[in-house]
């Protein structure tokens, strides 16, 4: 019965006049706008509260973890999109652009932890010509480790703000989605802390995004690590190096992962 209350899972600044909020609403997620001046829910001309469907933006169950960030009026969210909680998605919605989401292949994902927006297009006239990025942090079952069962792996993923989706099978799907493993271990004996619990993003300023540090709090899946935790830091140059390295691809028939050593096509996928 307690789970049937409305648990607020998302509260973000939409613009200078409104906040955007989503709640579980007794396993029927919904979102609303809050007028900052009066701190009241926005209503339409008839006096009814303006509500939006929260599916894909907010979890059904208050126990499920989710994350979201608002970028120029668009909501980038990582959450489960169905009642059973077995369809985790990373999506973009709001405003006038086409809504995008990951394909239904994240079913091994365990929990979303956090998200962040970095303006990597700065400074203006950036010779790299890069796009702004939205980063997501989560843990999932490492399917590439077929010799271990239920090995939990922590990930950092990113999408480009300018992503417009693809064609045919990639309609309304991300074309820039990439993910990489976050490795955190004891410096002396290599004991792994593989389960990401929280993330903090430290950026000196928008123009100095290259100096960004990602701090993660990790625990261990290993029984020998019960009660212990670790904090690991990941500098932006290491993250960029990982995303610029070799790709791994999954065989859809066998679900086995392998490293693709063939020449990287141009333009590079995920950029």
Structural domains present in the chain: 64-260 (2.130.10.10)
Q: Is the pLDDT of residue 218 over 80?
A: yes
Cβ proximity of 9 and 62 under 8 Å: yes
What is the maximum alpha-carbon separation in the chain?
66
Q: 3-class DSSP state for residue 268? A: coil
| DSSP-derived secondary structure for 14-67 | -SSSEEEEEE-TTTS-EEEEEETTTTEE-B-TTS-B-EEE-TTTS-SSTTS--E
Distance of alpha carbon 152 from alpha carbon 141, whole angstroms: 5
**169 or 208: which carries more pLDDT confidence?**
208
End-to-end CA distance of the chain: 46
H helices, E strands: number in the chain: 1, 18
Summarised one tens digit per residue, pLDDT across range 21-80 is 999 999 999 999 999 999 999 999 999 999 999 999 999 999 999 999 999 999 999 999
pLDDT given at position 23: 96
- DSSP one-letter code for 223: G
Q: What are phi and psi of 20, to 5 degrees?
A: -120, 130
pLDDT of 258 above 90? no
CB count in 10 Å sphere of residue 262: 8
The per-residue pLDDT of the chain, averaged, comes to 89
| C-alpha closest to that of 87 among 79, 95, 98 | 79
Query: According to DSSP H, which parts of 189-231 are helical?
Result: none
- Residue 158 clears pLDDT 90, i.e. is over it: yes
Alpha-carbon distance of 170 to 176, in angstroms, equals 11
Alpha helices in the chain (DSSP H): 236-243
pLDDT > 90 in the chain, percent: 61
Quick: pLDDT tens for 100-155.
888 765 567 779 999 999 999 998 877 665 799 999 999 988 877 765 667 889 99
Q: For the ranges 94-103, 116-125, 216-225, 243-252, which has the lowest average pLDDT?
A: 94-103
* Per-position DSSP letters for 129-146, written without gaps between them: -PPPEEEEEEEEE-TT-T
Cα–Cα distance between 211 and 207 in angstroms, integer?
A: 9
Identify which of 31, 30, 34 has the alpha carbon closest to the alpha carbon of residue 17.
Answer: 34
On the question of pLDDT at 267 being above 80, the answer is no
Residue 97 has pLDDT above 70, yes or no: yes
CA distance 243 to 268: 11
């Amino acid at each position: 019965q307690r789970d049937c209350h409305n648990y607020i899972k998302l509260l973000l600044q939409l613009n200078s006049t409104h906040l955007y909020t989503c709640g579980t609403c007794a396993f029927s997620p919904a979102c609303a706008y809050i007028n900052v001046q009066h701190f009241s829910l926005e209503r339409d001309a008839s006096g009814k509260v303006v509500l939006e469907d929260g599916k894909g933006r907010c979890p059904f169950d208050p126990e499920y973890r989710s994350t979201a960030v608002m970028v120029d009026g668009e909501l980038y969210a990582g959450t489960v999109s169905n009642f059973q909680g077995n369809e985790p998605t990373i999506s973009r919605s709001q405003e006038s652009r086409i809504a995008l989401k990951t394909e239904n292949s994240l079913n091994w994902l365990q929990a979303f932890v956090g998200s962040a927006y970095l303006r990597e297009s700065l400074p203006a006239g950036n010779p790299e010509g890069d796009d702004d990025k939205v980063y997501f942090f989560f843990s999932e079952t490492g399917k590439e480790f077929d010799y271990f069962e239920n090995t939990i792996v922590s990930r950092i993923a990113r999408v480009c703000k300018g992503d417009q989706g693809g064609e045919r099978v990639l309609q309304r799907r991300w074309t820039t989605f990439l993910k990489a493993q976050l490795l955190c271990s004891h410096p002396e004996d290599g004991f792994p802390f593989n389960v990401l619990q929280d993330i903090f993003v430290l950026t000196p300023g928008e123009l100095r995004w290259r100096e960004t540090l990602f701090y993660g709090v990790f625990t261990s899946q290993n029984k020998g690590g019960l009660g212990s935790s670790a904090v690991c830091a990941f500098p932006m140059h290491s993250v960029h190096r990982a995303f610029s390295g070799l790709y791994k691809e999954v065989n859809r028939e066998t679900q086995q992962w392998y490293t693709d050593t063939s020449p990287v096509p141009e333009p590079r996928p995920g950029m």
